[in-house]
Amino acid sequence: MEHYFHWFDLLGIAVFAISGTLAAWRNQMDGFGVIVLASVTAIGGGTLRDLILDVPVIWINDNSYFYAIFIAAIGTILLVRNRLTVPHNTLQILDAIGLAFFVVMGTQKGLDNGTSVMVAIMLGTMSGVCGGMIRDVLCREVPMVFRGELYAVTCIVGGAVYTALLALGTAQLFAMLCGMAALLVLRLAAIKWQITIPVFSKHHSDLNEP
């Protein structure tokens, strides 16, 4: 299974690096900005998770993570330079795919380090959302997790499906794929049909306040 874990990690890194590169392109950053944004998007969440767990950070002793970032970023740059337009929801879709990989992998890493199931799901959610949060803050935008369609909720669902299937004794790879699929389907459905969790019924401008 370690072989699968590593490749899932690299796929998640590459997808998030692509989303960071597209965000840099949308904000007209230079080459250095592209690499920085691709990198923090790809490894930001996993780095924070590992620091909390007090374990070696994933990329410290493994250059393959940086190779995945650079290849994904350069490939995206070449694609964008030779294409006049990029569909407006491409960033959201890629972000959803990255979430699917990172949440399940982060949840498993929490379990591997002896955390409870609830804490493991929280760590998986953190792995998925924190890189995108850093990306959006650097782009001076409200982080995607705090606005619009279901986001963090989909991460919790994906982690819950994964841990529930493990508890039922299913094969780990099958549980991982089901957790990823549940998260991805729910997130894409939320994007398509704008599914949200409404809290306030009125915008502040509608209230009689100064």
- The tens digit of pLDDT for each residue in 141-175 reads 999 888 778 999 999 999 999 999 999 999 999 99
Q: What are phi and psi for residue 171, nearest 5 degrees?
A: -60, 140
The pTM of the full predicted model, rounded to 2 decimals, is 0.90
Length of the chain: 210
Structure-derived torsion over alpha carbons of residues 182, 104, 176, 196, reported in degrees to the nearest 10:
0
CA distance 196 to 100: 19
pLDDT of residue 145: 87
Please give the Cα distance from 56 to 44 (Å, whole number). Answer: 14
Spatial distance between the Cα atoms of 32 and 44, rounded to a whole number of angstroms = 17
Find the largest Cα–Cα distance for the chain. Answer: 59
Number of H helices, E strands in the chain: 7, 0
SS3 136: helix
Supply 106's token pair: 């982060």
Please provide the average confidence, as pLDDT, over all residues in the chain.
91
Quick one: tokens of 197? 């969790």
Average pLDDT on 2-15 reads: 88
How does pLDDT run across 25-69, given as a tens digit for each residue?
999 999 999 999 999 999 999 999 999 999 999 899 999 999 999
- Which tens digits make up the pLDDT trace of 105-135? 999 999 999 999 999 999 999 999 999 999 9
